[in-house]
Amino acid sequence: MLERADFVKFFVRFLNKVCVIRDPEKGIDLDGWARDPWNLCTVKQVEELKALIKVLPIWSTGIMITATISQQSFPVLQASVMDRHLFAGLQIPAGSFGVFAMITLTIWVAIYDRIIVPLLSKFTKRSRGLTMKERMGTGLGISCVATADAAIVESKRRAAAIRQGLADNPNAMVHVSAMWLVPQYSLIGLAEVLNAIGQREFYYSQFPKSMASIGVALFTLGMAVGNLVGSLIVEILNIETKKLGKVSWVSNNLNKGHYDYYYWLLTILSLINVLYFLVCTWAVGSTENENKIEWGEREEIKEEEAEVHARGSPTIYAL
């Protein structure tokens, strides 16, 4: 039976074939180089492609959390019609509530290494407390809690607006404190810092230094795709939920729409994404220690190739 740690390795093993020289006369020119680089590649090239393929399942799990984070403009609309007064006439601008996510992110980064890691190390027996994938998974889980909290708060706000007779007056202030939005912002900030930093460290651990820019590019690409997915979800909801003359869930009138249903949908999708992450983690297996050894071997290959190039000989293709 195929072991879980060997699942992805088995899947990408077929790539080894492009390193094999089947016909030296047709595959290699007089200088010892491949005649067709698309059909015959170096071990280094194949190993780098394998590393990229192996991280793609984990990479794809970051799309949903980005889609969730990208929709933080809706809480701004909610805050604009809620009571934002603190004390002595001080009022927080609706667009400034995002600062609570930044504050949470900043505090977490500041205390993680000094306080959180030492505490976690006592339980996990690991110097870094949580592994990179554990941090990513924790971030995904917290994002589910954040959207569930957002759904509950919006449900309460909408019910209060209808109870106060404001269903047809979307710009009127609802007598509900906007500070109820702070927990979801804080949770989103915490989820983002755990998942984002975990992702980037994971990519760096799987790639050699020569592919460090690929890790950054993957993270940025995930953010771009996540933003597109978030917009696509809103657009599909807007079209489908207003069929048959019904009011759209994401209507311009927050009091007649159902943004609470929208948040519950994000919660369900995020939970599915957590399960998908667990499956991907199972399929990939424990790669953090294994890849250190693998990339050590690849560095030796690079050194050997450099020596061969220095002698004016062809690049090594055989496995």
Q: What is the pTM of this model?
A: 0.81
Task: Give yes or no for a contact between 284 and 57, defined as CB atoms under 8 angstroms apart.
Answer: yes
Residue type, 60: S
Question: Domain range for residue 256?
Answer: 4-310
Q: Is residue 260 part of a domain?
A: yes
Q: Is residue 317 part of a domain?
A: no
Number of folded domains that form the chain: 1
CATH number at residue 230: 1.20.1250.20
Is there a domain that residue 235 lies in?
Answer: yes
- Residue 158: per-residue pLDDT: 94
pLDDT at 32: 58
- pLDDT for 284 equals 77
- Between the CA of residue 126 and those of 132, 195, 284, 293, what are the distances in Å? 12, 19, 20, 19
Residue 315 resides in a domain: no
Largest CA distance in the chain: 86
What local confidence, expressed as pLDDT, does residue 20 receive?
A: 66
Per-residue pLDDT of the chain (319 residues; tens, 9 = 90+): 445 545 556 656 667 776 666 666 666 665 656 666 666 777 777 778 888 888 899 999 999 999 998 887 899 999 999 999 887 778 889 989 989 988 988 888 888 878 888 888 888 777 777 888 889 999 999 999 999 999 999 999 999 999 999 888 888 889 999 999 999 999 998 998 899 888 988 988 888 888 888 888 999 999 999 999 999 999 999 999 988 678 899 988 999 999 999 999 999 999 999 999 999 988 877 655 444 434 444 444 344 444 433 444 333 333 3
Say what the pLDDT of residue 311 is: 41
| Structure tokens that stand for 76 in this block | 């701004």
Whether 193 and 108 have beta carbons less than 8 Å apart is answered as: yes
Distances (CA, A) of 157 to 21, 161, 163, 179, 241: 68, 6, 10, 12, 21
Residue 318: inside a domain = no
Using the Cα atoms of residue 104, residue 108, residue 111 and residue 117 in order, give the sign of their dihedral.
positive
pLDDT confidence of residue 160: 94
- Would 228 be classed as within a structural domain? yes
User: Which residues neighbour 88 within 8 Å (Cβ) at sequence distance 6 or greater?
Assistant: none
Contact 287, 54 (CB under 8 A): yes
pLDDT attached to residue 82: 92
* Assigned domain for 319 exists: no
Query: Domain for residue 208, yes or no?
Result: yes
d(CA 151, CA 144): 11
**Cβ-contact 288, 7 below 8 angstroms:** no
